[in-house]
Structures are given as structure tokens and as C-alpha cells.
């Protein structure tokens, strides 16, 4: 479970899931596509067709306070979009 950090459950990802059988995950930055494919197949017992990855850099954020401007940066992360084979699906809500 070192490769897969958490699943992405957003409105946009739910729409991609319904239309194209694609699921999103936040993954370790050092993980490669074959490692991500193997982790998803073993953890969820499904067949993966393809894996697309993208790295999001952190954003610079600032806020104004009484003592002045405080600036910082959000964390960067790597996102993987996994396309499953025909007939396979993942249920993220089964353990709730």
C-alpha cells in the first residue's frame, strides 16, 4: 500500500468512471506506471488496461492577517488515472 495513497472521489472523477471506466488515485511521486498497474490489480482484483500519470506542483498561497502577509505553499502530488478492462469496476464505498 506504499504506492497508492488514496483514491480520488470527486464529481469529475465520478463522471469519468461512469463514462469511461476510469478511476483516479493519488500515488507516490516515485511510482512508475507498471508499479501503479500492479498495485491496483493486486489491491482491487481487477484488470487494468492503461495508466496515465500527472504531477501537480504545489501552489503558492498567501493570506492577509493583522501582523502582515503570510505566504506558504501547498504540497505537490502525483495523480494516476487508471482505465479498467471491460466488465471490471471498483467500489470505493463498500467499506463505509
With 90 as the cut, is the pLDDT of residue 91 above it?
Answer: no
CA gap 88, 5 in Å, rounded: 21
Q: Is the pLDDT of residue 1 over 70?
A: no
pLDDT recorded at residue 92: 81
Residue 96, pLDDT score:
63
Nearest one of 24, 84, 76 to 53, comparing CA atoms: 24
Task: For 3-33, write each residue's pLDDT tens digit.
Answer: 999 999 999 999 999 999 999 999 999 999 9
Say if domain 4-84 classifies as CATH 3.40.1410.10.
no
Mean pLDDT confidence for 71-84: 96
Residue 68 clears pLDDT 70, i.e. is over it: yes
* Cα separation values, 75 from 29, 32, 54, 88, 94, Å: 12, 20, 14, 32, 29
Where do the structural domains in the chain lie, given as residue ranges? 4-84
Residue 18 CB: number of other CB atoms within 10 A? 9
Amino acid at each position: 500500500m506504499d504506492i497508492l495513497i488514496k483514491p480520488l472521489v470527486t464529481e469529475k472523477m465520478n463522471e469519468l468512471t461512469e463514462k469511461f471506466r476510469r478511476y483516479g488515485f493519488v500515488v507516490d511521486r516515485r511510482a512508475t506506471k507498471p508499479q501503479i498497474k500492479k498495485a491496483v490489480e493486486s489491491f482491487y482484483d481487477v484488470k487494468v488496461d492503461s495508466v496515465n500519470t500527472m504531477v501537480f506542483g504545489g501552489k503558492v498561497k498567501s493570506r492577509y492577517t493583522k501582523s502582515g502577509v503570510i505566504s506558504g505553499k501547498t504540497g505537490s502530488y502525483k495523480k494516476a488515472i487508471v482505465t479498467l478492462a471491460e466488465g471490471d469496476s471498483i467500489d470505493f464505498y463498500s467499506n463505509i
